[in-house]
Amino acid sequence: MIKAPIGIGKPAFWSVQNISYQAYRLKTRPELIIGVLALCFLSFVVLVPLLQIIQDAFTFQSYDLSYEPDGVVGSFTLFHIDRVFNQPISTALFYKPLLNSLKMGFAVTAIALVVGFSLAWLMVRTNVHFKGVFGAMLVFPYMMPSWVMAIAWLSLFKNDRIGGSEGLLTYLTGIQAPDWVAYGIFPIVITLALHYYAYAYLLISGALATVDSELEEAGATSGMGKWKRIRVITMPLLMPAIGSAIVLTFIRILGTFGTPALLGLPVRFFTFSTQIYASINARNQGDAFVLALVLIVLAISFIWINSRIIGVRKSYVTMTGKGFRKSESDLGKMRWPITILVILFLCMTVALPLILLLWESLTLIPGNYSISNLTTYFWNGKGNINLAYGEPGIIHNKGILEALFNSIKLGFAAALFNGVLGLLVGYAVVRGRGARLSKWLEAIAFAPYIFPSIALGAIYIGMFSTNIGPVPALYGTFTILVLITVIKNLPFTSRTGIAAILQIHQSLEEAARVQGIGWFRRMFRIIIPLSMSGLVAGMLLTFITAMRELSLIILLISPGNMVLTGLIFSYQEMDMSQHSSAVTLMLVLLIIVISVIVRLITRSAGVGRLNVT
């Protein structure tokens, strides 16, 4: 049989036939349409802002006129670069914050990793007592804003040198905590580490739980000792999880604002994030943009170095599902002492901060922690000109209630949009696998991961302070808060979306296709119901993150779009510690209550019990 050579008879690219073919093709492949739309939208909200601040950083801005009156607005200049890197002011503006941020980042990451790893090992691989309760409590910090510990720390150690009231320590013992204990790098590292261990714990315990102990037993039968097995078999399998824990923690620390602001600013200890905030407030946006860019470069190079060292390979999937067993080693005599140690740790990280917040919120005169000084004024007081600038207690405070409403609205809106966007991105990426569009989309959806929160906020200030074509200036609106929260969470929700679509075998949708069922019906009858459990979990996570977020939105909030976290920060800045404590407590309770409700609803609806083949 003579075969025609391949390649003959293909119409030219611009021919009518080819264009009609491509049009038909687009019509038959909804994932292409979704992919293109999502790519355009994400480019607009992720890449364009980035390019915009790069441009702003290198052009002369009107706010620079006060330094260089001869400058031409809009012309190319190295003015900002020079100011940040090469002037007497650079030490304070750039080098010190850089050093502080790095010190803070490495110290917190190291401590959080050690604590998280130890706890994960105890919980998964030993017979420590009360695992159920511990498991629930250990992830508790994840639900709290990272700076709750900082507020609690201040209640405990605040000294008289800065002004304002003193903390519990001074009240009880009369001893003034030294400055280095009350403020600066030491308390910042401690309080952040006691929050961020939860990330390392979650990631590592998840990975540990999927290491089949048969793998280790195989090592044992080939004559390896216990420590050798851990070193040669278990640790390499955990490396990807440890690697992502390190990257995640470090980047979050770089971008975190609340704690360094609360514990650092009183002693003029600046990190990158607080310096960006200060520069924006001082109307030196150019400086802030350069700093934000450096922060992004720092984050990217950290990811790169980390992946070179650890060599994260995706092929390290050890989940088998079959023949899966876990072995627990006996702690022996140390079982109770270690259990007690964990209880103490939980008291310190979970119970103590909340008790301190509650107590603080109930004191009438700040700094006096006696029973006689207790009051519920800051919860239900109607406003008294002699107390806290006349601010009424929570339930009568219009400002707080509005912020509360805004926070809940932000949480729900972000969760909803994130869910939809995550699903669509997941669908377009998975169904388009192998095509360039799919790769680009996956990459761009992941891009916000490398922007430390505060840097992304700075980028959004640069982009949305004026209108862009049909898009109005969004600065100061509620929309921009939703937008930035959705974008910041997109790396996680798109991962969830991709995972959710991946677990739905392609044939389930194809079966519907060949039976003549259209795209919308396929989405609503097949794809959405089957990916619901993963999506809801992802949306709940977005909700929690949105409710407790401060670093991301601190640069974007104004009285017009105030949320609870921003309000807490401003109360704290004004040294109104009872108000800030009360509102923080309310926020934490709210997050807990709503996540419990969502979990109950999804469980009773039977989501997650499906046997997806």
Partner 1 sequence: MGQILLNGIVKSYGKEVVVKNLDLTVETGEFLTILGPSGCGKTTTLRMIAGLEEPDQGMIKLDDKVVFSRNDGVVVPPEARHLGLIFQSYALWPHMTVAKNITLALKEQKISKSEIAQRLENALDMVQLTGYAERYPSELSGGQQQRVAVARLIALRPSILLMDEPLSNLDAKLRTEMRASLKRLHRDLGATTVYVTHDQIEALTLSDRIIIMNEGQIMQEGSPYDIYHHPANIFVAEFIGDPGINLFKGTISNGMLDCGAISISLPTTIANRGGNLIAGIRPEKIKVSETAKNGWQEVTTGILQPTGANTILEVKAEDIPITLLQTGFITLSEDTPLWIDFETDALSFFDTETQENLRNEVS
Task: List residues near partner 1 by CB under 8 A.
Answer: 3-4, 6, 9-11, 16-21, 23-25, 27-28, 434, 505, 507-508, 510-518, 521, 525-526, 529-530, 610-613
SS3 205: helix
> Measured from the CB of residue 324, what is the shortest distance to partner 1 in angstroms?
20
Across-strand partners of 221? none
Nearer to partner 1, 354 or 437 (CB): 437
> Measured from the CB of residue 588, what is the shortest distance to partner 1 in angstroms?
36
Nearer to partner 1, 228 or 521 (CB): 521
| Assigned token pair, 149 | 């510990």
Phi/psi at 467 (5° precision): -80, 145
Distance, CA of 456 to CA of 493 (rounded, Å): 18
> Measured from the CB of residue 511, what is the shortest distance to partner 1 in angstroms?
4
Nearer to partner 1, 384 or 507 (CB): 507
Q: What is the dihedral of CA 318, 319, 320, 323, to 10 degrees?
A: 90
> Measured from the CB of residue 515, what is the shortest distance to partner 1 in angstroms?
4
Nearer to partner 1, 12 or 385 (CB): 12
Helices (H) then strands (E): counts for the chain: 30, 0
311 and 137 Cβ atoms separated by less than 8 Å: no
CA 357 from centre of chain: 23
In angstroms, the Cα distances linking 579 to 354, 370, 391, 447, 585 are 14, 18, 9, 37, 10
Nearer to partner 1, 5 or 174 (CB): 5
Find, among 171, 172, 169, the residue nearest to 152 by Cα.
169
Nearer to partner 1, 16 or 175 (CB): 16
> Measured from the CB of residue 607, what is the shortest distance to partner 1 in angstroms?
10
> Measured from the CB of residue 3, what is the shortest distance to partner 1 in angstroms?
5
Q: What number of residues does the chain have?
A: 613
- The DSSP letter of residue 64 is G
Nearer to partner 1, 370 or 515 (CB): 515
107 and 196 Cβ atoms separated by less than 8 Å: no
> Measured from the CB of residue 31, what is the shortest distance to partner 1 in angstroms?
12
Per-residue burial over 497-509, b if 16 or more Cβ lie within 10 Å, else e, is: bbebbeebeeeeb
Distance, CA of 533 to CA of 543 (rounded, Å): 15
Distance, CA of 288 to CA of 391 (rounded, Å): 33
Nearer to partner 1, 6 or 385 (CB): 6
Nearer to partner 1, 42 or 530 (CB): 530
Nearer to partner 1, 11 or 472 (CB): 11
Find, among 431, 418, 513, the residue nearest to 33 by Cα.
431
Nearer to partner 1, 1 or 175 (CB): 1
Say which residues have a Cβ less than 8 Å from residue 168's Cβ, sequence separation at least 6: 155, 156, 356, 359, 369
> Measured from the CB of residue 509, what is the shortest distance to partner 1 in angstroms?
9
> Measured from the CB of residue 436, what is the shortest distance to partner 1 in angstroms?
12
> Measured from the CB of residue 72, what is the shortest distance to partner 1 in angstroms?
52
> Measured from the CB of residue 503, what is the shortest distance to partner 1 in angstroms?
11
Find, among 399, 274, 365, 380, the residue nearest to 576 by Cα.
365
Residue-by-residue DSSP string for 276-336: HHHHHHTT-HHHHHHHHHHHHHHHHHHHHHHHHHH---TT-----SSS-----B--GGGHH
